């Protein structure tokens, strides 16, 4: 596997232009270190869009989904700092899923990532997940230029919990039911892998997923001496 744990928080958002300088300082120097400092969190990554929208994608990796529904994380969400309360209202078009990892395979962290937000047909969900996890996703991890392929399934109840931090946002947050992440060397590599999978996704009832391609901007591990 190339994810750092079996639980992830996936967040997409745009940002008001006038807030960008403050956002970058806050995210690099306070928010990301604060998040990965929570017990059970292992790594945080921030990406910026090369193709598609929203502009930013943030990925937090944790030991398990239970960590992400646990009291330590909720305590942090319910005690936003003054800097957080200043920056977060500038977020727009937010989508956020707390996910259990259903599949992960790869050799490491890629510099480019394609994200696909999937809405699986409830009546075909079990068969679709079996096909993806047992047959369709593993070959993608061995494609030229691909370093990792991951599938997360949202815990919708945990994703929708109202917290103090969530209440300061300026718009409604959507919750993708499932997320597919393909990381690799270039936009062409990850797009090619997704394009190879797309006919099978359509046949499984996933329709036309919202996709975007992102470039890695920032990585943070647990401590300052292992920052990225």
Residue listed under structure tokens 């994200």: 115
Is the per-residue pLDDT at 1 higher than 70?
A: no
- d(CA 117, CA 119) in angstroms, rounded, equals 7
Express each pLDDT in 36-79 by its tens digit: 999 999 999 999 999 999 999 999 999 999 999 899 999 999 99
Q: Sketch the domain layout of the chain as residue ranges.
A: 7-226
Contact present, 155 and 99 (Cβ < 8 Å): yes
3-state secondary structure 69-126: CCHHHHHHHCCCCHHHHHHHHHEEEEEEEEEEEEEEEECCCCCEEEEEEECCCHHHHH
Q: Would you say how long the chain is, in residues? A: 228
Model pLDDT, residue 165: 78
> CA–CA separation, 193 vs 181, rounded Å?
11
* Residue 211, CA distances (Å) to 1, 42, 88, 195, 204 in order: 23, 26, 24, 11, 17
Q: pTM higher than 0.75, yes or no?
A: yes
Average pLDDT, the chain: 93
8 A C-beta contact, residue 68 and residue 152: no
Confidence band, pLDDT 50/70/90 cuts, at residue 146: very high
pLDDT of res. 223: 72
3.30.70.100, 3.30.9.10, 3.40.50.11740, 3.40.366.30: which CATH number matches 7-226?
3.30.70.100
**Above pLDDT 70, what percent of the chain?**
96
């Amino acid at each position: 596997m190339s994810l750092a744990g079996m639980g992830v928080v996936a967040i997409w958002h745009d940002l008001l232009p006038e807030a960008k300088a403050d956002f970058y300082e806050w995210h690099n120097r306070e928010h990301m270190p604060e998040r990965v400092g929570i017990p059970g969190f292992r790594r945080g990554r921030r990406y910026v869009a090369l193709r598609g929208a929203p502009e930013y994608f943030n990925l937090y990796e944790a030991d398990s989904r239970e960590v992400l529904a646990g009291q330590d994380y909720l305590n942090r969400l319910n005690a936003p700092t003054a800097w957080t309360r200043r920056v977060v209202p500038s977020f727009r078009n937010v989508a956020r899923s707390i996910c259990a990892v259903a599949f992960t395979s790869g050799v490491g962290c890629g510099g480019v990532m394609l994200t696909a937000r999937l809405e699986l047909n409830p009546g075909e969900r079990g068969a679709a997940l079996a096909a993806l996890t047992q047959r369709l996703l593993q070959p993608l991890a061995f494609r030229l230029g691909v370093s990792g392929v991951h599938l997360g399934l949202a815990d919708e109840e945990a994703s929708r919990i109202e917290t103090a931090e969530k209440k300061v946002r300026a718009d409604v947050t959507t919750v993708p039911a499932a997320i597919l992440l393909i990381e690799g060397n270039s936009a062409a590599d990850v797009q090619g892998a997704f394009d190879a999978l797309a006919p099978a996704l359509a046949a499984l009832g996933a329709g036309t997923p919202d996709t975007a391609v992102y470039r890695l901007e920032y990585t943070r591990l647990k401590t300052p001496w292992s920052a990225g």
